[in-house]
């Protein structure tokens, strides 16, 4: 067959999605062929010690404030244990931003956490790491880190966002998209510390949405990795090579625990993002994102695994053991795929006063998906082909809104043509409305079999089976 004809056939077979993905990501995942080696020999012992010797207490709930986190970690950061703490900036609301330094080695490593205020897993992990470094000076990994690296931490970079458990800072700016303009005091503080430290390695520590799937599978992503690109071509130089190797080390450490649930981000360059620009500035940067493990409501199991992966990464820097790690360990990870919504209520009948009964499915997303709290309606209608993290069968039941919740107006109020400049609030059981409803055997909502009053009651996560 003629080459031109073959090319035409191949282009015809490519979907628009495939073309777009290949255009935005010049290094798509390769066919898996790299065998994942065993994890470091010391890792199982570290795992066994974690709960009793390494886990920092007082961080069981992931919605803590910066003030609480510093209360927990301050006793761990004694100077006699090798820690140096200094205030280096202030947030918009005048909360302190502190630099923690530990170690005596040549390799400078910068780690920053919670630049998105609702992404707290890494801040918990850093507290565990402080306990490990300070309380176990004779541990072989601690010795190697102390002599070969100097670790610089900027924990909870967005304390104002953490106070509200929201992504952006109090100005409404995404700090991770402020590396170029440096409009926020938080971003300026991180950049000033970066310029002062001139790190060879960097760790940009985050959480990501629980709904992400690993590639095209139905498996949730527990950990996602990225060696951020430094240009639009996603070229690989010595700086990115080191980051790709370290990411491969993390995968190796976590594969026994999370096989099939580790993914990577696509390599689309963003000239505003800190990870991309720190790579451009010469730092081998690794992005680590904590997704979720079903049933791990406060991300405590994932916290432990994140800790083990981070220690393995730091140890590989201290010992130089990341050198030569096959790039396939990173490249062959599936990309983060679709984001599945949280809850699909399937097959019920909407029963709202002033509207005719309507057969419809209901989609709900939660602000905290693992705990299923603070829900909002995300979709209504025939959603039978929709994939979701969890499904409830409402066949034969009526979906009846609970009365008396803010933001729910009557049809008359919503259609008022007066001079009120405020946009109308969503009507009950419409997209954007808060999720307050019951499943009932009758359309009036008197014979209730299950209630979702904003948040799912852990004692009754689903209606009883008939």
pLDDT at residue number 425:
78
Does residue 29 surpass a pLDDT of 60? no
pLDDT band at 17 (very low <50, low <70, confident <90, very high): very low
Cα-based distances in Å from 257 to 116, 249, 288, 289, 306 = 27, 14, 16, 16, 11
pLDDT at residue number 421:
55
pLDDT, tens only, 247-262: 999 999 999 999 999 9
pTM of the model: 0.90
- Residue 168: CB atoms within 10 A of its CB come to 20
Question: How, if at all, do strands 149-154 and 212-214 pair?
Answer: unpaired
Does residue 6 surpass a pLDDT of 60? no
Decide if 77 contacts 153 (C-beta within 8 A): no
Does residue 147 surpass a pLDDT of 50? yes
pLDDT at residue number 404:
77
- Residue 33: CB atoms within 10 A of its CB come to 8
pLDDT band at 465 (very low <50, low <70, confident <90, very high): confident
Exposure string of 120-145, with b = 16+ CB inside 10 Å and e = fewer, is bbbbbbbbbbbbbbbebeebebbebb
pLDDT, tens only, 219-228: 999 999 999 9
pLDDT at residue number 452:
98
User: Directed axis angle between helix 121-135 and helix 140-148, to 10°?
Assistant: 100
């Amino acid at each position: 067959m003629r080459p031109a004809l073959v090319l035409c056939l191949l282009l015809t077979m490519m979907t628009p999605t495939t073309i777009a993905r290949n255009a935005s990501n010049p290094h798509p995942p390769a066919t898996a062929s790299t065998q994942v080696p065993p994890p470091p020999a010391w890792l199982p012992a570290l795992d066994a010690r974690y709960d009793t010797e390494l886990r920092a207490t007082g961080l069981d709930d992931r919605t803590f404030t910066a003030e609480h986190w510093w209360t927990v970690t301050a006793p761990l950061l004694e100077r006699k244990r090798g820690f140096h703490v200094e205030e280096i900036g202030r947030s918009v609301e005048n909360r302190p931003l502190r630099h923690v330094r530990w170690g005596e080695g040549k390799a400078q490593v910068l780690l920053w956490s919670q630049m998105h205020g609702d992404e707290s897993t890494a801040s918990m992990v850093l507290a565990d790491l402080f306990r490990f470094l300070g309380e176990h000076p004779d541990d072989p990994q601690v010795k190697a880190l102390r002599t070969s690296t100097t670790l610089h931490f900027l924990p909870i970079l967005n304390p104002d966002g953490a106070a509200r458990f929201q992504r952006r800072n109090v100005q409404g700016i995404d700090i991770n998209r402020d590396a170029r303009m440096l409009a926020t005091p938080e971003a300026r503080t991180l950049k000033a510390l970066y310029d002062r430290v001139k790190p060879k390695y960097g760790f940009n520590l985050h959480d990501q949405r629980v709904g992400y799937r690993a590639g095209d599978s139905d498996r949730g992503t527990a950990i996602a990795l990225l060696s951020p690109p430094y240009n639009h071509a996603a070229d690989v130089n010595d700086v990115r090579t080191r980051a790709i190797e370290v990411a491969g080390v993390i995968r190796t450490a976590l594969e026994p625990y999370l096989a099939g649930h580790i993914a990577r981000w696509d390599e689309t360059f963003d000239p505003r993002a800190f990870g991309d620009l720190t790579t451009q500035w010469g730092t081998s940067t690794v992005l680590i994102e904590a997704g979720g493990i079903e049933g791990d409501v406060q991300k405590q199991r994932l916290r432990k695994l994140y800790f083990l992966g981070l220690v393995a990464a730091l140890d590989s820097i201290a010992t130089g053991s990341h050198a030569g790690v096959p790039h396939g360990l990173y490249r062959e990870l599936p990309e983060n795929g679709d984001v599945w919504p949280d809850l699909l209520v399937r097959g019920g009948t909407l029963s709202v006063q002033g509207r005719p009964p309507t057969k419809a499915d209901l989609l709900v997303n939660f602000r905290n998906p693992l705990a299923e709290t603070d829900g909002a309606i995300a979709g209504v209608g025939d959603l039978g082909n929709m994939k979701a993290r969890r499904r409830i069968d409402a066949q034969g039941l009526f979906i009846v809104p609970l009365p008396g919740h803010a933001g729910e107006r009557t049809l008359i109020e919503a259609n008022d043509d007066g001079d009120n400049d405020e946009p109308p609030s969503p009507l009950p059981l419409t997209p954007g409305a808060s999720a307050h409803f019951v499943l009932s055997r009758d359309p009036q909502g008197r014979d209730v079999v299950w209630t979702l009053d904003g948040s799912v009651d852990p004692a009754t996560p689903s209606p009883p089976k008939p």
